[in-house]
Amino acid sequence: MKIGIAASVMALAAAALPAHAATLYHDPGPTGPAESPSSYAFIASSGGGNGALSFTIHGYGTLDGVNSYEDDFTLALNSAPILQLSYDLGGGGGNAIFTNIYGATVSSRYATGGHWAIDVAIAALPLLSGDNSFVFAYVSPLGDALGGAGRHAGPQGLGDEGWGLSNILLTGNAAVTPVPEPASWALMIGGMALAGGLMRRRKVAVSFA
């Protein structure tokens, strides 16, 4: 009876603990300049539910928007593209967002440190319970691009253009250690009681001997 009550109390106490928002990943950066094509990736562990992600994309040199020199950005969550865009960050062209699954907001470009940048924020990003993989990537297509079919200039090299990230911040529910089921608590407590009884018996036997 006592074992059952103790297990129930422990289970109820664990269930009453609320999930709490925490910093799941942070990289102040900047990570660049990096040549296109290239990528930046990380894995973050979460307790599940919605998280929030924000970051800054930097364009160095003549990083292009939608034109014949187009440079395309993709953010993938657990291998699925959730944000794809092409912005003029020094090379001209139009600004366009092609994929935006979770309603990311993208700022207007602004000057910082002698180059252009944009801020991106996703307020409600569904995360798996466990590991979540993030891949940020830029490509400079030679053929079809996100902005349209046809021939494009392809990679220009760091002598002409580059990209990078900074202020990467992912917050959400912290991963939690699984709480044993009430039956497991009962088994553990019962096992400890049995071990204690055996130790007492052994001591009595030794004293009589």
Q: How far apart are CA 33 and CA 40, in angstroms?
A: 12
Q: Are strands 21-27 and 72-77 parallel, antiparallel or unpaired?
A: unpaired
In a domain, 90, yes or no: yes
Q: Residue 14, CB half-sphere, CA atoms under 13 Å: how many?
A: 14
Contacts of 79 (CB under 8 A, 6+ apart): 133, 135
In a domain, 93, yes or no: yes
Mean pLDDT of 175-191: 61
In a domain, 76, yes or no: yes
**How high is the pLDDT of residue 178?**
61
Q: Are strands 96-100 and 80-86 parallel, antiparallel or unpaired?
A: antiparallel
pTM (predicted TM-score): 0.77
In a domain, 200, yes or no: no
Q: Which residue has the tokens 């096992």?
A: 191
Task: Quote the domain boundaries for residue 150.
Answer: 21-173
Task: Give the number of other Cβ atoms within 10 Å of residue 74's Cβ.
Answer: 18
The model's confidence at residue 188, banded by pLDDT at 50, 70 and 90, is low
The model's confidence at residue 21, banded by pLDDT at 50, 70 and 90, is confident
3-state secondary structure of 110: strand
The model's confidence at residue 176, banded by pLDDT at 50, 70 and 90, is confident
Quick: pLDDT tens for 51-74: 999 999 999 999 999 999 999 999
In a domain, 112, yes or no: yes
In a domain, 83, yes or no: yes
The total domain count for the chain is 1
Quick: pLDDT tens for 129-173: 999 999 999 999 999 999 999 999 999 999 999 999 999 999 999
CATH number, residue 138? 2.60.120
In a domain, 1, yes or no: no
In a domain, 5, yes or no: no
What's the whole-number average pLDDT of the chain?
86
For 37, counting Cβ atoms within 10 Å of its Cβ (0-12 exposed, 13-18 middle, 19+ buried), the class is middle
